[in-house]
Structure 1
Amino acid sequence: MKFTPALPLLCLFLLPACALAAEKAVYGLNEYAHLGGLDLEVAAKLDTGAKTASLSARDIKRFKRNGESWVRFYLAIDTAHKHPIERPLARVSKIKRRASDYDSESGKAYTARPVIELQICMGQRQRTIDVNLTDRSAFQFPLLIGSEALKQFGALVDPSLKYAAGKPACASKAPTAE
């Protein structure tokens, strides 16, 4: 049998990639997400083509509390969510409008959305991510998780899978970063 150095060399080349993959978590196209502080579990769509995360909300109002900017909203998920939620406003994001959503009267190609920080648990991992608020009631999933949040989760998204991480199983005092 003749020794060929190609196989050991290939293994050495792939070793860093294997170590990187070991740190990543595999998620499906859709996952269950627990929303910390809201004591709510929702189905989420993981979208690597979207930059930001979005949560379905209605009657969104910004206001001041002790000189700080806050936002008050209702979840636009189902009729069970009749109580307002109040959170500090992290920032306001500009989201590019779709061509079909272009506002010709104002001439704005962007829409401004309030952003809050929200603790999300998917599978065994819990992170605090930025989530913009918008009415997603016309969509199947009330939570969309975009690429910025997916990076924080160390996510590898396999679109052939659904609910690969299972039900959220984060401890209540889990750290927000590894």
Structure 2
Amino acid sequence: MRFKPCTLPLCLLLLPGLSLAAEKTVYGLNEYANLSNLKLEVAAKLDTGAKTASLSARDIQRFKRDGDTWVKFYLAIDEAHTTPIERPLARISKIKRRSGDYDPDEEKTYTARPVIELDVCMGQALRRIEVNLTDRSAFQYPLLIGSEALKRFSALVDPSLKYAAGKPGCATDANLGE
């Protein structure tokens, strides 16, 4: 087989990309996620089109504790979650409203959501990610994992797969990664 002179340089340019892909983990469109801070395992949707991660929560209230802002909420997953959860507030996220969600009388094109940090295990990878709180009870998956969190997992998402990483298997003393 004989290559044209320009084929070899092209192949050499592609080699670094192949080694980068080898360092990534392939996840499916949906994965099981263990929220170790909350002692809970949920099904998650991996969404490269969303920037942030979202967790289904209701009755979200901010309060002060020792001069810091905290958030108290209940999981909006099913009726079994009757115990409030309290976590430090990491920041407030401004989420763009979709056209059908926009109220011209309010003049706001975004929704402000509280953000907390959670330790999330998918497959064998444990990462601390930021998660905004909103009621996702109308959606099939209580946890949406967006592109910022997917970067932390070094994820490649194959939408033709589901639960490719299997059940979460992170050790309790695992490193949270970068």
Q: Give the fraction of aligned pairs with identical amino acids, expressed as a percent.
A: 74
Q: Identify the residue that residue 27 of structure 2 maps to in structure 1.
A: 27
Tell me the distance in 2 between the aligned counterparts of 1:81 and 1:141: 16
In the TM superposition, structure 1's runs of 4+ consecutive aligned residues that sit over 2 Å from their partners are 1-15
SS at structure 2 position matched to 1:150: helix
Q: Identify the residue that residue 64 of structure 2 maps to in structure 1.
A: 64
Q: Identify the residue that residue 128 of structure 2 maps to in structure 1.
A: 128
Q: Identify the residue that residue 40 of structure 1 maps to in structure 2.
A: 40
TM-score using structure 2 length: 0.94
Letter in 2 for 1:99: S
SS at structure 2 position matched to 1:159: strand
5 Å matches for 1:22-171? 22-171=22-171
User: Which range moves more in the overlay, 42-51 or 6-15?
Assistant: 6-15
What do residues 48-94 of structure 1 show as CA deviations (whole Å, max 9, x unaligned)?
Answer: 00000000000000000000000000000011110000000000011
Tell me the distance in 2 between the aligned counterparts of 1:86 and 1:18: 43
CA RMSD of aligned residues (A): 1.7
1:14 Cα offset (Å)? 3.1
SS at structure 2 position matched to 1:160: strand
Letter in 2 for 1:91: R
The alpha-carbon distance between structure 1 residues 3 and 115, as it changes in their structure 2 partners (threshold 3 A), is: closer
User: Which range moves more in the overlay, 113-122 or 1-10?
Assistant: 1-10
SS at structure 1 position matched to 2:160: coil
1:105 Cα offset (Å)? 2.5
1:17 Cα offset (Å)? 1.6
TM-score using structure 1 length: 0.94
1:17 aligns with 2:10: no
1:18 Cα offset (Å)? 1.9
Tell me the distance in 1 between the aligned counterparts of 2:4 and 2:94: 56
Letter in 1 for 2:166: G
What do residues 106-159 of structure 1 show as CA deviations (whole Å, max 9, x unaligned)?
Answer: 211111000000010001111000000000000000000000100111000000
Tell me the distance in 2 between the aligned counterparts of 1:158 and 1:2: 34
Matched positions, count: 178
Letter in 2 for 1:83: T
